[in-house]
Amino acid sequence: MAERIPCTTIREWLTSADLAQNLPPPLLVDHVSGCARCRSVLLLIVVDLRDAPLTVVTPTCDHCMDDLAASLDMERDVGIAQAIRAYPHVWWHLWICAECALTYEIVRDTLDTPVLRYGPTPAAWES
Which of the four pLDDT bands, split at 50, 70 and 90, describes residue 40?
confident
**pLDDT value for 17:** 65
Percent of the chain with pLDDT over 70: 69
Q: pTM of the entire structure?
A: 0.58
**pLDDT value for 67:** 95
- Rounded CA-CA distance 38/28 in Å is 10
Q: What is the DSSP string of 18-67?
A: -TTT-PPPHHHHHHHHH-HHHHHHHHHHHHHHHTS--------HHHHHHH
**pLDDT value for 1:** 42
Domain ranges of the chain: 24-110
Residues 74-78: what's their mean pLDDT? Answer: 89
Looking at mean pLDDT, say which of 32-36, 41-45, 104-108 comes out highest: 104-108
Chain mean pLDDT for the chain: 75
**pLDDT value for 29:** 78
